[in-house]
Amino acid sequence: MGDFFSSFATLFSEYDIFPAFWVTIKLAFFSGLFSLAIGTALAIMCVCPVPFLRRFGAAYINTVRNTPLTLIMVFCSLVLWSSLGLEFSGNLASNSFWLAVLALSLYTCCFVAEGIRSGFNTVPPGQAEAARAVGLTFTQTLGSIILPQALRGSIAPIGNALIAMAKNTTVATAAGVVQMSTVMNEMLENRPDLIAPIFLTVALFFVILILPMGMATSYFSRRMAVER
């Protein structure tokens, strides 16, 4: 038993586990912020009265959410960066990080948008009709009446999308970002004799990251629910 616990100390002394976990947290945080912003914009496009914007929003969501995330990650890394020269920073590690954030955001925002669209369905149509009857524009109706209620009604699906995004940060390895899955692969390659401690360590860190997100989603979903 002592040898089993000492193997954990060996892993933490030989590999940069805490820095890799911190990168995973930053990936999840920034990707979540951008996904919420882009997803909200896409959801608004899908219900706006402009036909072109509705078609664009629907086409983007249906195309990107059915595309493997690894393919999007490689596209951002190889096409946008290597071929088209897109750079966020002169530092290679920083540039790879933001390219991974871009890929995660462009992918996750589709599921956020669908969650918000489900929230739109919880708002009674009579409220929009009443707003139009008193002379409110589409923008005023959306911002003051529909969107606030839709966001409250879509906390659960949005939270689930962000939880899935946090787990999908492992795909950032394809963009050259050193995070938890990268260190795990390195540990498995160099120390196959410690396979059980390696998996337990990585699993524990992801539980630490994702469990509070799930608890917060459940809490705010109940707390912010729109009473009918």
| Residue pLDDT, tens place only, 5-23 | 788 888 888 888 899 999 9
Task: Summarize pLDDT for 91-141 with one digit per residue, the tens.
Answer: 777 888 888 999 999 999 999 999 998 888 888 878 878 888 888 888 888
**pLDDT number for residue 25:** 94
Domains and CATH numbers, the chain: 16-222 (1.10.3720.10)
**pLDDT number for residue 192:** 82
**pLDDT number for residue 90:** 64
Provide the 3-class DSSP secondary structure of residue 116: helix
- Mean confidence (pLDDT) of the chain: 86
Rounded CA gap, 31 and 33, in Å? 5
Task: Summarize pLDDT for 76-100 with one digit per residue, the tens.
Answer: 888 877 666 667 766 777 888 888 9
Contacts of 164 (CB under 8 A, 6+ apart): 108, 111
Rounded CA gap, 18 and 205, in Å? 9
Of 48 and 80, more confident: 48
**Nearest to 152, CA basis, from 124, 127, 125, 116:** 116
Contacts of 112 (CB under 8 A, 6+ apart): 35, 36, 38, 39, 40, 42, 43, 158, 161, 162
Residue 37 pLDDT level (bands cut at 50, 70, 90): very high
Task: Summarize pLDDT for 138-177 with one digit per residue, the tens.
Answer: 888 888 888 888 888 888 999 999 999 999 998 988 777 8
Residue 42 pLDDT level (bands cut at 50, 70, 90): very high
**pLDDT number for residue 227:** 59
How many residues can be counted in the chain?
228
CA 158 from centre of chain: 9
**pLDDT number for residue 213:** 93
